[in-house]
């Protein structure tokens, strides 16, 4: 079936772990935006949700770091973080090994993706799911782009990964929804945590909403590092989602800087062509 939903959102651990320290109105508006995204995803009747995240050394380390990976299991555990730190209860999240395998085989036609039969979710997946699928009743297919340990795959390869996931989703009979999760400009977990380059974020989201491939891929990692911090490398997940949208235009539903969460909290989605129900 053609992809039924495509969007992207923030995943900062502070969103749950330091929730009460943010401006109340802003936090409530953010949680409302997450709930709307969850409602929108459910309204498409998906059989599974592919989550392209930028995991943070929960599963992959510099001893054997895949540029791209997809989970292939019937269940996953998460979050890996201390429950008191993230304030999300550790649980088992359903997967679909057979579906994952078929998606991976399709993606492998163009991108040499690693697969993983074990995968512990960290905040990159657990924070979005906490709001989007709080009952953990939708099978998840986790996907990862290395955004943490350089050298990183070029942005053009993140785009190719998104395109490959789209072709794979379109090729299976199941109804697949997809989100990318990550931050725009941010300097997470450093003394500069809270710093946000709003102007840079706005320009990135302009390019993302227009689904302007050339403009999205024109950033260099040196420029991202200088203007958007090491956390800015996570735009790869937003770029992969844009590629998966197949040229559709996007809408930013919510974007507000929240320093205690260390990012501009952002949610957006693409207007995919309607599919037969």
Q: How many residues bind another protein (CB under 8 A)?
A: 36
Cβ closer to another protein: 106 or 193? Answer: 193
- CB neighbour list of residue 141: distance below 8 Å, 6 or more residues apart: 48, 49, 50, 51, 70, 71, 95, 96, 99, 100, 103, 176
Which spans in the chain are helix H?
A: 14-17, 24-43, 83-86, 97-107, 123-132, 155-171, 198-209, 213-216, 221-228, 235-244
Report, in Å, the least distance between residue 272 CB and another protein.
32
Instruction: State yes or no: residue 266 binds another protein (CB under 8 A).
Output: no
In the complex, minimum distance from the CB of residue 189 to another protein, in angstroms, rounded to a whole number = 3
- Mask 181-210, x = binds another protein (CB under 8 A)? ------xxxxxxxxxx--------------
Do 186 and 148 form a contact (C-beta atoms < 8 A)?
A: no
Among 16-24, 99-107, 138-146, 169-177, the segment contacting another protein (CB under 8 A): 16-24
Sheet holding 68-71, edge to edge: 114-116, 68-71, 140-145, 48-53, 176-181, 5-9, 263-270, 250-258
Q: Is residue 80 involved in binding another protein (CB under 8 A)? A: yes
The 154-183 site mask, x for binding another protein (CB under 8 A), equals: ------------------------------
Tell me if 213 sits within 8 A of 232, measured CB to CB. Answer: no
142 binds another protein (CB under 8 A): no
Looking at residues 98 to 137 of the shown chain, list those that interact with another protein (rule: CB under 8 A).
120
Asked if residues 123 and 78 have their Cβ atoms less than 8 Å apart, the reply is no
Please state the closest distance from residue 85 (CB atom) to another protein, in A. 4
User: 120 vs 157, which CB is nearer to another protein?
Assistant: 120
- The neighbour count for residue 199, using CB atoms within 10 Å, is 10
**Contact set with another protein (CB under 8 A):** 14, 17-18, 23, 56-59, 61-63, 80-82, 84-85, 120, 148-150, 187-196, 225, 229-230, 257, 259-260
């Amino acid at each position: 079936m053609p992809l039924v939903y495509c969007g992207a959102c923030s995943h900062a651990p502070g969103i749950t772990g330091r929730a009460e320290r943010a401006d109340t109105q802003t936090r409530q508006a953010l949680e409302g935006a997450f709930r709307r995204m969850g409602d929108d995803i459910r309204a498409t009747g998906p059989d599974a949700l592919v989550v392209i995240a930028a995991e943070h050394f929960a599963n992959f380390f510099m001893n054997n770091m895949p540029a791209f990976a997809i989970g292939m299991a019937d269940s996953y555990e998460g979050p890996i973080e201390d429950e008191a730190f993230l304030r999300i209860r550790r649980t088992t999240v359903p997967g679909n090994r057979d579906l994952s395998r078929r998606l991976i085989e399709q993606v492998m036609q163009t991108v040499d993706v690693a697969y993983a039969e074990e995968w512990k979710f960290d905040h990159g997946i657990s924070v979005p799911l906490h709001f989007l699928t709080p009952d953990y009743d939708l099978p998840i297919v986790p996907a990862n782009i290395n955004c943490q340990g350089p050298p990183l795959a070029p942005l053009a390869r993140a785009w190719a990964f998104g395109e490959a996931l789209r072709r794979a989703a379109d090729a299976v009979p199941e109804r697949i929804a997809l989100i990318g999760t990550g931050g725009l400009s941010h300097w997470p977990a450093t003394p500069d945590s809270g710093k946000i380059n709003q102007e840079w974020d706005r320009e990135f989201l302009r390019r993302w909403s227009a689904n302007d491939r050339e403009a999205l891929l024109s950033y260099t990692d040196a420029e991202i590092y200088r203007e958007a911090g090491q956390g800015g490398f996570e735009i790869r997940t937003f770029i992969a989602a844009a590629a998966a949208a197949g040229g559709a235009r996007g809408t930013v539903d919510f974007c507000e800087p929240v320093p205690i969460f260390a990012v501009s909290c952002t949610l957006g989605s693409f207007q995919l062509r309607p599919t037969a129900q």
